[in-house]
Amino acid sequence: MRNFALLDEQGNEVGTYSGKQPRQAALKAANRGFTDIRLREKGTKKIHVFRGARVLQQVPEKHPKWMDGRETFMKGHVEKVGVYKL
């Protein structure tokens, strides 16, 4: 697992997310409502930049039992913009 710090526009650390890949951490941030996602990889000098959104999805026909009674759910969606080095 790698750790990533979520940065705001001023470069302040707002939160920490973990995942095997930066995209996995960005999906977690997007699902919590962040749209301009800049993740600093801890231990390196890389900043991964993503554009994120929450998308309304229909519950599939073969769904897990915990989704019973729902018709829709929110799902995170991200698109990688680039990687910058400090």
- How far apart, in whole angstroms, are the C-alpha atoms of residue 27 and residue 35? 10
Every domain of the chain and the residues it spans: 2-85
User: Per-residue pLDDT tens for 24-74?
Assistant: 999 999 999 999 999 999 999 999 999 999 999 999 999 999 989 889 999
65-78 b/e with 16+ CB inside 10 Å = b?
A: eeeeeeeeeeebeb
Q: What is the pTM of this model?
A: 0.88
Element (DSSP H or E) covering residue 18: strand 13-19
User: Per-residue pLDDT tens for 2-23?
Assistant: 999 999 999 899 999 999 999 9
Q: What is the pLDDT of residue 15?
A: 94
Q: What is the pLDDT of residue 13?
A: 94
Cα–Cα distances in angstroms (integers) from residue 24 to residues 50, 68, 73, in the given order: 11, 26, 19
